[in-house]
Amino acid sequence: MQTTCWTEIGVRGDRTCPELQTVTHCQNCTVYSQAGRSLLERPVPKDYVQDWTTRLAQPHNREQDTRDTTVSVCLFRLGQEWLAIPANVVNQAGNPSTVHSLPHRRDRVLRGLVKVRGQLLLCVSLHELLGIALPETPPAQNISRLNGQRLLVMGPPQALWAFEVDELYGLYRCRTEQLRNAPALGSQILERFSQSILPWQHQTVSYLDSDRLLSALQQHLL
């Protein structure tokens, strides 16, 4: 019987093999298993061992792994500063709503309460927290997807914060190799919250450390 009988008279053929009545399927037949074993026992092709020895001897290119890594951020503008935060901390974006001030609170960062989709959230001023002046005039070049002010909500589900931005671009994916160490940005406060910078559309974007940002906001509740 030929070693490829399963393709002719077996389950892949016309099923006329009398052994099927006993073994049900070719996989249970000794002929099939012996054919598979013979494949494993074939002589190794010439240069096969040397080829794999060379491949495994090469050092792992961790730098290439880093270059292939991407990060998703949310880009927005405060005053004249373009900023970014990790996309995974952004809960939602929408139109600004009326901010209701909190009684007996004179914190310039903590503005009050704002209703977002039926939920009352604390609304803060990142302008004040980061030491960024409010815009006096619109930017000379409009590169935003969404013109005008927008309300962003960020943070974990149990501790959401709302804040207004002067312009929202939206989500942007970049390679981690594009990120650079944050230089002197002209604002010591902004430097403290920036983990790196991102070149984007002829702009220098400050990539904010979301953990530091959320921790600082929490301090304003104390």
Confidence (pTM): 0.64
Residue pair 189/93 in contact (Cβ under 8 Å)? The answer is: no
Q: Write out pLDDT tens, residues 120-178.
A: 999 999 999 999 988 765 554 455 555 578 999 999 989 999 999 999 999 999 888 88
Type of residue at 81? E
Q: What is the CA radius of gyration of the chain?
A: 31
| Main-chain phi, psi angles of 27, to 5 degrees | -60, -20
Low pLDDT (below 70) residues in the chain? 1-3, 60-68, 136-147, 183-187
Q: Which domains does the chain have, with CATH numbers?
A: 5-57 (no CATH), 69-219 (2.40.50.180)
Give the closest residue to 216 by CA, choosing from 151, 157, 102, 130.
Answer: 130
What SS3 class is residue 132? coil
Per DSSP, 180 falls in state B
Count of C-beta atoms within a 10 Å radius of residue 97: 16
User: Of how many residues is the chain composed?
Assistant: 222
